[in-house]
Copies of this chain bind each other. A is one copy, B any other.
Amino acid sequence: MIIVHTIQEIRKYVREQRAKGHTIGFVPTMGYLHDGHLSLLRAAKAQCETVVMSIFVNPLQFGPNEDFERYPRDLERDAKMAEQAGCHIIFAPDVNEMYPRSKGSVLTRVEVDEVTVQLCGASRPGHFRGVATVVSKLFNIVQPDQAFFGMKDAQQVAVLQTMVDDLNIPVEIVPCPILREVDGLAMSSRNVFLSADERQQALVLHASLQMAERMVADGVRDVVQLKQAIREQIQTAPLADIDYVEILNFRDLSPIMTIDQPALLALAVRFGQTRLIDNIVLKIR
């Protein structure tokens, strides 16, 4: 496996792979890999001949009071894990390579409406503008056939699918399932920040998603009732500070009152300094 840091190098590499007739699978990440990321690499490896991963902690998608500075970084560790999962090349640019105008700034932005209004789009103003802009750039740099994203960031997948559709970007977005620890906590690079107590209490997230799934299986259809039950369940954990609990149309993330088609139940909850997200798609049998 190779690691490159410049746009010129990754473009040259991809051009060479293309010349061999290889298809390109792309896994954009912010690094500090966990099994969730590795599952994306394996999915890419299964479908494409060349697997490219980017590692870039994108300042544009962090708010001024968010955790850009303390976001965990360890390229050496990431490289070992990525290689074992079948990655062929890591593109790890620095901020200056991605935003040469001035550190972290850019004159051109990609804005996506409607699917960004709810959930993390509401809690983190500008977040999805930063995501859409950097992913546009990465797609233009790598020019992959397929790009693999985890469903833990379900809204991110919806935003990027909307962007790709609207701008006719010739890349297929491939959503991949959430990976969980054995006790049910969704894998996240931020889990490393949790104290032992927070880590234990964070299990309430997956438990509340499972409870909602059971309620729907038992015939509950009312969104207000479901959200109330989930909130109460989460609040049994004293360290949990709810950012949002939302149930939206899975297709376009529009508000719904009743579960009558696939719905996204998404939640964001703080434990101490650490904000965790999780979700499940509620379906009627």
Contact = CB atoms under 8 A, between A and B. Distances in A.
Contacts of A182: none
Interface string A158-177: 00001100111110000000
B101 A166 contact: yes
Interface SS of A by simple majority: mixed
Interface residues of A, number: 27
Contact of A107 (B112, B143, B168): B112
B169 A140 contact: yes
A110 B110 contact: yes
A106 B162 CA distance: 10
Nearest to A110: B110
A115 B115 CA distance: 28
B137 A167 contact: yes
A187 B83 CA distance: 58
B108 A168 contact: no
A136 interface: yes
A169 B136 CA distance: 9
A169 B101 CA distance: 16
B168 A140 contact: yes
Contact of A166 (B107, B112, B167, B170): B107
Contact of A7 (B110, B136, B168): B168
Nearest to A113: B107
A167 B106 CA distance: 9
A187 to B, nearest CB: 29
18 contacts: A11-B170, A106-B166, A107-B112, A107-B113, A107-B114, A107-B115, A107-B162, A108-B111, A108-B112, A108-B132, A108-B163, A109-B113, A110-B167, A136-B167, A137-B166, A137-B167, A137-B168, A141-B168
Interface of A: 7, 11, 101, 106-115, 132-133, 136-137, 140-141, 143, 162-163, 166-170
Given A107-B115, A108-B162, A141-B168, 18 more contacts: A7-B168, A101-B166, A107-B113, A107-B162, A108-B110, A108-B111, A108-B113, A108-B163, A108-B167, A109-B110, A109-B113, A110-B167, A111-B111, A137-B166, A137-B167, A140-B167, A140-B168, A143-B170
